[in-house]
Amino acid sequence: MADDDAYQLPDDPYQWLEDVLGDEALTWVRERNAETSAELAESDRFTALRGEIREVLDADDRIPYPVRRGEHLYNFWRDAAHPRGLWRRTTLASYRTAEPAWEIVLDVDALGAAEDENWVWHGAQVLRPGYRRALVSLSRGGADASVIREFDLVDKAFVADGFTLPEAKSSVGWIDLDRIYVGTDVGEGTLTASGYPRLVQEWRRGTPLSEAVTVFEGKHEDVSVNAYHDPTEGHEHDIIHRSIDFYRDETYLRTPSGLVQLDVPDDAHSSIHRTWLLVTTRSQWSVDGNVYPSGALLALDLSAFLTGRRDFDVLFAPDEHTSLEYHTWTRHHLIIGTLRDVRTELTVRTPGPDGWTSTVLTGLPDTGAVYISDTNPDDDDEYLLTASGYLQPATLYRAELTPASGGQPEILKQAPAFFPTDGQSVHQYFAVSDDGTRVPYTVVGPSRTHTPTGDVPSDEPGNAAAGGPTLLYGYGGFEVSLTPGYSGTIGRTWLARGGTYVVANIRGGGEYGPDWHQAALRENRLRAYEDFAAVARDLVARGITTPRQLGIEGGSNGGLLMGVMLTRYPELFGAVVCSVPLLDMRRYHLLLAGASWVAEYGDPDDPDDWAFISEYSPYQNARPEHRYPAALFTTSTRDDRVHPGHARKMVARLREHGQNVRYYENIEGGHGGAADNEQLAHVSALTYEFLWRTLAATETH
């Protein structure tokens, strides 16, 4: 049943749809699915779209992205013959060849068939430094909740009487061969209000879980707690994290004499590598006469920090155009990824007796986005790096930060091109939001649609008459940055058919650091929506599209964005695709993991918070007297992160009001919306068929 039946709002006649597996609710779902399939899934174009997407998803010449575990490179691979996937490995020498010799470690399809389960791979934690044992996570149907089972990488089999956990939103981590840290549901009071572990326990092999020793307890209102062991020889650490809310946490060292809390701001993120403590600030930090800005990366010797020193080295400080995106260690070096107006730059910082030196990684293509996909900080200075752009397929590089190699990368693999790019171009523009903030967005599409300004003569490219079907994507939350990247699916289904694709970097994201995110937090949430609306208006002003031909798409928090656009700015759009969304913001904190997002949105049980949440909550703001653009809502029955009741109830309300709305709910898939490539291709083809039918000037079936 629903999470809290006592919380029945008098104006919510559709709360029964929160009963995820209830007969009445699932009957409603099947009826909506049938209607949507009859409308969208029976055309020749839908069949072609689905086939093209499958070709992209199942292509044999995709890059098999690896991670190093000892002497092997491991990869998880799905294709048409193995829809649930193969966990496999090879050597670097073999990986360099055109046809690597892959050794299958675990066949998830075969496992599911043997055990009569719909297993979906959720990853594995491998025991360092020997790399023989792994804790494998398997989900039923793609839900966040997983079963944990110990696996032997030499025998390639699950360990009889090994560490095993039943289905739950667990956290686990190796301490040594015979001990693990575990957080899971072990009875009443052991989970937080968000449904994640409240306890960290040490569990010893051969003993029942009921005898695991509790080493840390969080509070019921926390988001979660977890622990891990760093086995780096000579620098072993046991670290416990308590997530107070989504943006505040506490970090403790577990020592023989007890827990030692790291004295850093609770909104900062800290990490340890060998002798170094790194701190990433989310607000200005004044300590011992030093002032460190928000969004900075700081470094200090850990032992010095524990004795009271606070004179950090500032390894990165943001400016108006540049923010910290990520950082990752090799054995001796720290690679720092930054965004400069949403384009990636990489710098290497190296500690030495005279302080930190700095060099810029060179020899990389100018593609817009580069990221470190793997390093091996236990052993060496190897790194794997991926570079791609909106029109540039990904390239995987390998390099070593050693004097002998000079750090110059070698190409290991190149992804295929899935669509023609002749006549396509990429341009970044800036829209001006209601409060005067300049908001970047990127336009990808036919070159004729792009001009430096919207003020152009009527016979020049970019005039509104030359506009066409345009798809605008956004997210705007949780400090997530939307960076350039190649998508064969978008390229084939949208760009190659003449559509224009746009990505909006609105506030709430992390493109310009913590301040960019915090500017749209809680009571300032409307700024994110004003930003997105400003981008939509700017696209029209530049002649790239028209409101009737402008479609929008977003999922999860981006689904909330779509719901707000639908109900608050209906005149700006011709079509809306809303996936795995939050929409009922009056009850979101009571549904599944919703309580963990109160720091982002506010607490609707607090009258002051509900006052600003109620201004935009889509479910409460849907009005029968308004006409909304055509909409498609999609979700998954197995989504145990964002409750499918959000989408179900919104569609039911819009149908009651006579709106132009359709709905599709995949039974499997979790928060990703699909459990395998076949399901993903089907849902994606529904989306693009809906968009082409709705936005194209002429229909082709």
Active site residues: 556, 671
**DSSP characters over 473-492:** E----TT--------HHHII
Instruction: Identify which of 540, 567, 373, 552 has the alpha carbon closest to the alpha carbon of residue 475.
Output: 552
Spatial separation of the C-alpha atoms in residues 603 and 492, rounded to whole Å: 42
Kindly give the pairing relationship between strand 285-287 and strand 258-261.
unpaired
Q: How many CB atoms lie within 10 A of CB 360?
A: 9
Spatial separation of the C-alpha atoms in residues 685 and 490, rounded to whole Å: 11
Please, which residues have CB within 8 angstroms of residue 101's CB and are 6 or more apart in sequence? 90, 94
Which amino acid type is present at position 59?
A
Q: Please give the biggest Cα pair distance in the chain.
A: 78
Kindly give the pairing relationship between strand 146-152 and strand 133-140.
antiparallel
Q: Which two tokens stand for residue 401?
A: 């930060």
Dihedral over alpha carbons 590, 30, 80, 78 (to 10 degrees): 0
Alpha helices in 66-106 (DSSP H): 92-95
CB 444 within 8 A of CB 528: no
Helix 677-695 to helix 44-58 angle (10° resolution) is: 140
* SS3 state at 281: coil
Q: What residues pair up with 371 in beta bridges, in sequence order?
A: 386
Backbone angles phi, psi at 471, to 5 degrees: -115, 120
Q: Which two tokens stand for residue 38?
A: 């009859």
**DSSP characters over 526-568:** HHHHHHHHHHHHHHHHTTS--GGGEEEEEETHHHHHHHHHHHH
Task: Produce one character per residue of 152-179: b if its CB has 16 or more CB atoms within 10 Å, e if not.
Answer: ebeeeeeeeeebebeebbbbbbbbeeeb
Instruction: Identify which of 587, 631, 686 has the alpha carbon closest to the alpha carbon of residue 17.
Output: 587
Spatial separation of the C-alpha atoms in residues 448 and 463, rounded to whole Å: 9
CB 130 within 8 A of CB 233: no
CB 333 within 8 A of CB 367: no
Which amino acid type is present at position 614?
S
Measured in Å, how far apart are the chain's first and last C-alpha atoms?
42
Backbone angles phi, psi at 71, to 5 degrees: -85, -10
Quote the radius of gyration of the chain (alpha carbons, Å).
25
Distance of CA 219 to the CA centre of its chain: 26
Spatial separation of the C-alpha atoms in residues 242 and 287, rounded to whole Å: 23
**DSSP characters over 158-208:** EPTT--EEEEES-EEEEEETTEEEEE---STTSB-TTSSB-EEEEEETTS-
CB 241 within 8 A of CB 218: no
Residue 66: is the preceding peptide bond cis (ω within 30°)?
A: no
Helix 557-568 to helix 645-656 angle (10° resolution) is: 10
Cα dist from 683 to 50, 201, 519, 647, whole Å: 9, 40, 34, 15
Kindly give the pairing relationship between strand 334-340 and strand 322-329.
antiparallel
